[in-house]
Amino acid sequence: MQTALLLIDAQESFRHRPYWSESHAAPWFARTAALLDGAAARGIPVVRILHADGEDRPDNPFAPSSGLIRPIEGLPGIAPAAEFTKHRHSALVGTGLPVWLHQRGIRRLIVSGIRTEQCCETTTRHASDEGWEVDYVTEATLTFDMRTPRGGLLDAAAIAERTETVLAGRFATICSVGQALERAA
DSSP conformational letter for 140:
E
Residue 93, pLDDT score: 98
Prediction pTM value: 0.97
Among candidate residues 60, 139, 140, 127, the one with its CA nearest the CA of residue 97: 127
Spatial distance between the Cα atoms of 161 and 151, rounded to a whole number of angstroms: 20
Q: Percentage of residues in the chain with pLDDT exceeding 90?
A: 98
Q: Is the pLDDT of residue 115 over 90?
A: yes
DSSP conformational letter for 75:
B
- Tens-digit pLDDT profile for residues 120-142: 999 999 999 999 999 999 999 99
- Dihedral sign for Cα 35, 41, 47, 50, please: positive
Q: Percentage of residues in the chain with pLDDT exceeding 70?
A: 99
Q: Where do the domains of the chain lie, and which CATH numbers do they carry?
A: 2-184 (3.40.50.850)
- Tens-digit pLDDT profile for residues 66-109: 999 999 999 999 999 999 999 999 999 999 999 999 999 999 99
| Exposed / middle / buried, residue 107 (Cβ in 10 Å: 0-12, 13-18, 19+) | middle
Q: Is the pLDDT of residue 1 over 80?
A: no
Residue 185's pLDDT band (cuts 50, 70, 90): confident
